[in-house]
Amino acid sequence: IIDALGVAEQALHLSNDFFGKFHPGTANSWHNIGTCLLFNGSLNKSLKAFQNSLEIKKKIYGENHDNLVGTYNNMGLTYMDLGKNQLASVAFQKCIEIHENGEGVSPNLIEKVYNNLCIISLGIDNYESALKYYNKSFQILSEIYGDKDYKAEEYHFKALLVAKNGSNAAEIANIYNSIGVVNTRQGFYDKAMRNYEKAVSIYDGLEAFDIEKAALINNIGLIHIEKGNYKKALKYVQKALKLKKQ
Burial (0-12, 13-18, 19+ Cβ within 10 Å), 77: buried
Long-range contact set of residues 183-190: C-beta below 8 Å, sequence gap at least 24: 183/153, 184/219, 184/222, 184/223, 185/149, 186/145, 186/149, 186/150, 186/153, 189/223, 189/226, 189/227
Nearest to 158 by CA among 175, 180, 177: 175
Say how far apart CA 118 and CA 14 lie, in whole Å. 39
Tens of pLDDT along the chain (246 residues)?
Answer: 457 888 888 888 888 778 778 888 899 899 999 999 988 888 999 999 999 999 999 999 988 898 899 999 999 999 988 989 999 999 999 999 999 887 678 888 898 898 889 888 877 777 778 778 877 877 787 777 665 555 556 656 666 665 665 556 777 777 778 778 777 877 888 888 888 888 888 888 887 788 888 888 988 999 988 888 888 888 888 888 888 766
* Count of C-beta atoms within a 10 Å radius of residue 59: 12
Nearest to 101 by CA among 79, 133, 68: 68
pTM greater than the 0.85 cutoff: no
Say how far apart CA 136 and CA 134 lie, in whole Å. 5
* Count of C-beta atoms within a 10 Å radius of residue 217: 25
